[in-house]
Amino acid sequence: SVKQQGRNNYQVYTPAIGNNAQERLQLEHNLYKALEREEFVLYYQPQISLQTGEIISMEALLRWHSGELGWIPPAQFIPLAEESTLINSIGEWVVQEACRQIGEWHSLNLPPIQISVNLSARQFQDKKLLSKIARILKNTNINSSYLELEITETIAMQDMDLTIAILNNFRKLGIQIAIDDFGTGYSSLSSLKHFPIDKLKIDRSFVRELTIGSQDAAIVKAIIALGQGLNLEVTAEGIETEEQLDFLRSVNCDFGQGYFLSYPLPVEAAQKLLKKHRLIQFKSA
């Protein structure tokens, strides 16, 4: 469909492969080769300030273009990679590439922005993760506050004491932390105050049916109030319409991300946007 094309814009995904055992095996086999064949790329989706319309960060979203299978979406290959230690080497590549990109944009004198990188559960449990990231930061020589790591609420809640310890170590390195897909997991509110985090990302399921007076509007307002009370920044994900954007601005949500603002973009297009810096000119800004 047109909408589907619009969504993927720069890549046409191969329709549902990996459904039967043989396809799955083939997928897995190709995934093992993907790193050395340099088949991964990062796409970048802007997050903007809902006050000024300026781009404040880019979320790095992994794309796999398999020579044999075509474009495979992350929802198909990341769960597979997570079943083995493969996710650790793929994840390390993502951090390396994101940090290299931060350095490159910096050297091109583009407006300073963060890049955020998603971490999977298995990576988060990897005892060497901290030292790997520390080494990448050292080698790429970037200011670590430009790197943000996203972990989902579900990952954060698995072992709270461990999570707090790991997050504190990231913090000591100067890295920012966001809780992704917030509202869909089972965080107790009391646990949240113990997490050394910087940002909550409201899951897009609450944004989808945001209309004034709706239940989702009440939830979104509550999360924003929670963020303000705990001194956390709040990003709304999945903004697809102007109405959603207007609502989120009216309730003082800090940041927004979604197809209405920008699709995830290949690096050249993301860089072009960064030069413009301001993604939207708000009438009142």
**Residue 198 sits in the site that holds Mg ion (CB under 5 A):** no
| Number of residues forming the site for Mg ion (CB under 5 A) | 5
Q: How many residues are recorded in the chain? A: 285
C-alpha span between 96 and 94 (Å, rounded) = 5
CB of 73 closer than 8 Å to CB of 18: no
Q: Which of 258, 270, 274, 279 binds ligand C2E (CB under 6 A)?
A: 258
**Residue 45 sits in the site that holds Mg ion (CB under 5 A):** no
Footprint on residues 234-273 left by Mg ion (CB under 5 A): 237
Cα dist. 1→4, 7, 240, 257 in Å?
5, 10, 17, 23
**Residue 153 sits in the site that holds ligand C2E (CB under 6 A):** no
**Residue 153 sits in the site that holds Mg ion (CB under 5 A):** no
**Each residue of 18-36: b (16+ CB within 10 Å) or e?**
beeeeeeebbbebbeebee
Structural tokens at position 173: 């390195």
Beta carbon of residue 204, minimum distance to Mg ion (angstroms, whole number): 7
**Residue 97 sits in the site that holds ligand C2E (CB under 6 A):** no
Q: Which of 39, 126, 180, 198 binds Mg ion (CB under 5 A)?
A: 180
- Among 194, 190, 145, 152, smallest CA distance to 171 is for 145
**Residue 118 sits in the site that holds Mg ion (CB under 5 A):** yes
By C-beta, is 109 or 142 nearer to ligand C2E?
Answer: 142
Q: Which of 151, 264, 270, 274 binds ligand C2E (CB under 6 A)?
A: 264
C-alpha span between 235 and 248 (Å, rounded) = 10
Q: Vertex 154, ends 153 and 158: CA angle to 5°?
A: 115
Residue found under tokens 């956390």: 232
Which range of residues in 4-12, 191-199, 211-219, 231-239 is near Mg ion by CB under 5 A?
A: 231-239
**Residue 181 sits in the site that holds Mg ion (CB under 5 A):** yes
CB of 187 closer than 8 Å to CB of 157: yes
By C-beta, is 30 or 98 nearer to Mg ion?
Answer: 98
Beta carbon of residue 150, minimum distance to Mg ion (angstroms, whole number): 4
**Residue 181 sits in the site that holds ligand C2E (CB under 6 A):** yes
**Residue 92 sits in the site that holds ligand C2E (CB under 6 A):** no
**Residue 259 sits in the site that holds ligand C2E (CB under 6 A):** yes
